[in-house]
């Protein structure tokens, strides 16, 4: 994958930041090294694939994408993982009866956390 900024664009950005009074800016090399570290640590590591027709494309692990989305504090509160009964009003897939009644619990959500975030409850877990 290509970088979002070329070295020339990073140089222009650094120049503009200095014109605005920014101090102690990292060098282009430091930015590139840090980017490489971040991508190695938390990147999606896309894989280049050649199709049967000879076209090249990149694919990324869906599991990695979902892991990043679940860990993102800006996205996670917006995700609704459990079905809900809201009849007769229906505006989202999670409110549909099929999700509530047809999806096996082991696939719908294996764990629930109480409102205070103190206790986790797992399906098929023995109760005391």
> What is the per-residue pLDDT across 42-83, written as a single tens digit (0 to 9) for each?
777 788 899 999 999 988 889 888 888 888 899 988 988 888
3-state secondary structure of 23: coil
Closest CA to 36 of 10, 12, 1, 74: 1
68's tokens? 């990043």
Dist. CA 62–CA 44, nearest whole Å: 9
Cβ pair 104, 96 in contact under 8 A:
no
Dist. CA 75–CA 69, nearest whole Å: 6
* More confident call, 58 vs 123: 58
Domain spans in the chain, listed from the N-terminal domain onward: 1-43, 44-79, 80-128
pLDDT at 13: 92
| Reported confidence tier of residue 3, pLDDT bands at 50, 70, 90 | low
Cα dihedral 28→41→59→57 (10° resolution):
20
């Amino acid at each position: 994958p290509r970088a979002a900024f070329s070295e020339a664009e990073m140089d222009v950005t650094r120049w503009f930041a200095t014109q605005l009074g920014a101090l102690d800016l990292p060098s282009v090399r430091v930015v590139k090294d840090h980017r490489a570290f971040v991508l190695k640590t938390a990147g999606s590591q896309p894989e280049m694939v050649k199709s049967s027709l000879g076209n090249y494309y990149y694919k990324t692990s869906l599991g990695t994408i979902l892991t990043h989305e679940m860990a993102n504090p800006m996205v996670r509160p917006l995700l609704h993982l459990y079905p809900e009964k809201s009849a007769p009003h229906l505006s989202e897939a999670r409110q549909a009866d099929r999700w509530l009644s047809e999806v096996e619990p082991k696939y719908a959500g294996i764990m629930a956390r109480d409102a205070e975030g103190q206790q986790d409850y797992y399906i098929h877990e023995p109760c005391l």
